[in-house]
Amino acid sequence: MKLFTCIVSLTFMVICHADNIDKNAVIQGYSNEASDPEGNYHFGYETSNGIQFQEAGNPAGVRGSLNYVSPDGEHIALAYTADEEGYHPVGDHLPTPPPVPAYVLRALEYIRSHPPPQLKDATQQQK
């Protein structure tokens, strides 16, 4: 539940600090299914200025999505999961790491095929 509270708080902070948001927006849709005995829940809302948020979860993890228009006019669509392995956001607006350079891949392959002597000993002992 702490994770849910954190995510909702961050969402509201992002939304409240955007300059182009209609301050007179009203909630057009709202759903809140409190936790059942197994801990499953669902929460969501939609506002008149196009913000849509929904989240569902249980003790094993959470999944959700958020849609809105950024201050630059870009449509932001964020989907996420959160579980024992962390928070996993997905969205076209998120930065992605550059591809691994070919020389790094060649170096890693060389190291794999020519391990240092102390690694060779440890590898042979495991067999």
pLDDT in tens, 31-40: 998 888 998 9
pLDDT of residue 71: 83
Q: Where are the beta strands (DSSP E) in the chain?
A: 27-33, 41-47, 52-58, 61-69, 75-83, 86-90
For the chain, the average pLDDT equals: 83
pLDDT of residue 91: 93
* Overall size of the chain counted in residues: 127
Q: What is the mean pLDDT of residues 17-26?
A: 69
Residue 67's nearest CA partner among 85, 80, 79 is 79
Residue spans per domain, the chain: 23-113
Which tops the pLDDT comparison, 107 or 120?
107
Q: What is the mean pLDDT of residues 32-54?
A: 92
